[in-house]
Amino acid sequence: MISAFRCLGFFLLAAAGAAQADEPYTWKNVTVGGGGFSPGIAFSPAEKGLAYLRTDIGGAYRWDDRAKRWIPIEDGIDRGEYMEVESIAPDPADPNVVYLAAGTREAAAILRSRDRGTHWQIFPTRFKMGGNEAGRGLGERLAVDPNDTSLLYFGSRNDGLEKSADAGANWSPILSFPQKGLGIRPRGDAPNAGLSFVLFVPSGEKKNIPTRTIVVASADPGVRHLFRSDDAGESWTPVPGEPRGDLLPVKAAFDGKNTVYIAYSNSIGPNGATDGAVFKLDVASNRMTDITPDRDAKRPPGGYMAIDADRAHPGTAVVATLNRYHPKDTVWRTTDGGITWKSLEELSHRDVSATPFLIWGHQWGNTEADFGWWIAALAIDPFDSGHVAYTTGATVYATDELRNADARQPLIWKPWVAGVEETAILALTSPASGPHLVSGFGDIAGFVHDDLDRSPDTLFTDPIFSNTNTIDYAGMAPNVLVRGGTAAPRAKGYSPTLAYSLDSGKSWAPLVVPPLRGTNDKGEIEARHYDAEGDAAVVVSADGATFVVMTPVPLLTRDRGATWTALSTLPMWAHVVADRVDSKRFYAVDFANGTIRASDDGGATFATLDTTGLSVDPHTDWPTWREAQWPLMATPGIAGDLWFRTGAGRLLHSADGGRSFREVVIHMNIEALGFGKAPPASTYPALFSFGWQGQIRGVWRSDDAGRDWKRINDDAHQYGRRFRSICGDPRIFGRVYLGTDGRGLFYGDPVK
């Protein structure tokens, strides 16, 4: 349990005196396994079985070798910026010490832990970071001097090379370094990569004597990119013999003897690389040698990024391609210092039985999970040369069989993600029967969760979406589900972005919406598939018979999409909400006039109600993006019961079908609302929310229709306060499902 206090210019997160929940809850991830981009992985050189993983939006993890799972080590962090990890550095001498460089251009800090990430000291920095920007796979930017572990260097994006002499607490620029930084570019422009890696090259210095040789690279445009110091950072000289100027040094590894291996790409990644190279630097002679694995003139487009060297076997190194989509990315391995290389992809097989959703490409003929893309990190275990891991855009793969790469049997890779849940959850629903949870994810579509503690067999298919932005179920026929989202990346031409299921999500069918004719920006009349853009939500009537799709003119179908009717009695861009009990009742907010329109004939016509107590601001109450929860919601199990959540976080309730609303006095700013099972001795559903009460952004439950709220998370379960979606379970009192932006999906239950 973690609290924050100010002390000597930094923040300390400590166990004592943590803020408790008003009602204690246990929190546990709904198991999916991986799911997102992890740009960095680092084995501790100080202890066997210890490793760290950094993600771009979900914080960092520590591998617990005894438990055989990854342990999240930033769940008590209360700033979302610090969940975006730019670099990670285990102390090379003390296995208990680890550092993170985390943050954004808004806020950044160095985090130091002396107990493997259980508690953190946080040192805000003047230099900014980009943990989720382009170039987040570079590195590692943060490095600890192995001879004097109080010395840290950081290669910043915009402010040149930084140094700390007190274990990360205070930082100052190294003015002698030739690259001063280009400054922060305007948001929307391509970000500066800045200095891509810092590498200490020890050569027998005594303990507490700073390492004399340091290699630092710049991935910004320029003539010179690679620099070295041989006097512990006092002076710097460019390394001669680099490849042509458009190839940027992105990552490097030292073999522990005399060689630095360097990966080059013409992009800072994770996208855009079309060419690259691999060089090695002989530290003693300062000589660079081109050892690029594939130098064929007809080689596939793509660069290189992830790289590591086997310190137990000098001359052995591995490097991964980047953006080599045709045919696919691979990992190259050399055992003779780069004279010859062998591609491992053709020798490999992926066993994804622990996370079977990774074979999501079966609709395009895939028989096993892809080898991977966005391979930004690759690491050889310093205590076991056969154990190697690499990260992809969706998972982390590992094998214990690298030493068998020269044999004929397949090299087996398995997801190394037990405990890792790094996803963004866009939509949630808990139907009254069937599976307890159905989810909408960013990038990996979404799932029906029949078992909360096991990775689902498959993600949503037929059709596959990239993002699932909305999910709805029929209030009185929960087996009927509808979903809307964004077309998958491989979809060509018009691809449906709406789907329905009649069997609680076990199977799906596309919902095809006709194009609408209208005037485009040039004043021309055109037919346009508005649903193809991913903005068209879909809802279902209480009996499951009627679907309404929110195109500019809402469209209704009663025959699963065979025919459609335009709802001409609604304003443009209206969003329809179905009553959860009465299949004939639908509602919509008329934002322009601040009223409710209702239908009691199954959506055929809508009439304006003489609504009282509702004040609608079209500028603040209208959701600004497709993934935002709609402000008008119908209560499960009660006909005519509605809630309206304003853009300012006020909560209004109607018990008469939208004819009158009253504000619930809660002294809170409600950001999202969900419904659960009624508490004992009550018939009204429990309400769940996340939002602000004073200075606390937390997760809350109300058992009295919104009048009083209890905080149900504590300071040890904050997840950067990156809460994104919420719903209760209608069959289990107190259970709540919480979607985060980066730390995956949780279920919480009251402590018994």
- Whole-angstrom Cα distance, residue 742 to residue 752? 29
Active site (catalytic) residues:
56, 443
Contact by Cβ (8 Å): 288, 247: no
Question: 411 forms bridges with which residues in the sheet?
Answer: 348
Contacts of residue 514, Cβ cutoff 8 Å, sequence gap at least 6: 555, 564
Contact by Cβ (8 Å): 304, 265: yes
What token pair was written down for 4?
Answer: 């924050």
Handedness of CA 560, 566, 570, 573 (dihedral sign): positive
Rounded to a whole number, what is the distance in angstroms from the first to the last CA of the chain? 19
CA 374 from centroid of its chain's CA atoms: 14
Helix (H, G, I), strand (E, B) or coil at 364: helix
Contact by Cβ (8 Å): 542, 600: no
Q: Phi and psi for 472 in degrees, rounded to 5?
A: -145, 155
Contact by Cβ (8 Å): 102, 108: yes
CA dihedral defined by 81, 82, 84, 88, rounded to 10 degrees? 160
Q: Phi and psi for 423 in degrees, rounded to 5?
A: -145, 165
Residue reference for tokens 């789907």 = 499
Contact by Cβ (8 Å): 36, 56: yes
Contact by Cβ (8 Å): 37, 393: yes
Contact by Cβ (8 Å): 418, 68: yes
Before 463, cis peptide (omega within 30)? yes
Side chain identity at residue 743, one-letter code? R
- Whole-angstrom Cα distance, residue 593 to residue 615? 9
Instruction: Quickly count: other Cβ atoms within 10 Å of residue 170's Cβ.
Output: 14
What token pair was written down for 556?
Answer: 């209704």
Q: What is the DSSP string of 410-478?
A: -EEEEE--TT-B--BEEEEE--SSS-SEEEEESSS-EEEESSTTS--S----SS-EEEEEEEEEETTEE
Contact by Cβ (8 Å): 577, 539: yes
Strand order in the sheet with 25-29: 25-29, 745-750, 736-740, 723-728
Before 636, cis peptide (omega within 30)? no
Q: Phi and psi for 533 in degrees, rounded to 5?
A: -85, 0
Strand pairing class (498-501; 287-290): unpaired
- Whole-angstrom Cα distance, residue 428 to residue 437? 7
